[in-house]
Amino acid sequence: MQVSVENTGGLQRRLTVQVPGQEIRDRIESKLKELSKQVRIKGFRPGRVPMSVVRQRYGRQVQLDIVNETMQRSLQQAIRDEALR
In this predicted model, what pLDDT tens digit does every residue of 43-53 receive, in sequence order? Answer: 998 888 999 99
- pLDDT of residue 80 exceeding 90: no
78, 25, 58, 38 alpha-carbon torsion, rounded to 10°: -90
Count of domains in the chain? 1
Residue range 1-26, pLDDT digits in tens: 888 888 888 888 888 889 899 999 99
27 is a domain residue: yes
Domain hosting residue 70, numbered range: 20-81
What's the pTM? 0.79
CA-based max dimension of the chain: 61
Average pLDDT value for the chain: 90
Tell me the H-state helices in the chain: 21-38, 51-81
- CATH number where 35 lies: 3.30.70.1050
- pLDDT of the residue at 51: 93
- Average confidence (pLDDT) over 19-43: 93
The percentage of residues in the chain with a pLDDT greater than 90, rounded to a whole number, is 52
Evaluate whether residue 12 is within a structural domain.
no
Rg of the chain in Å (alpha carbons): 18
For the stretch 59-71, pLDDT in tens is: 999 999 999 999 9
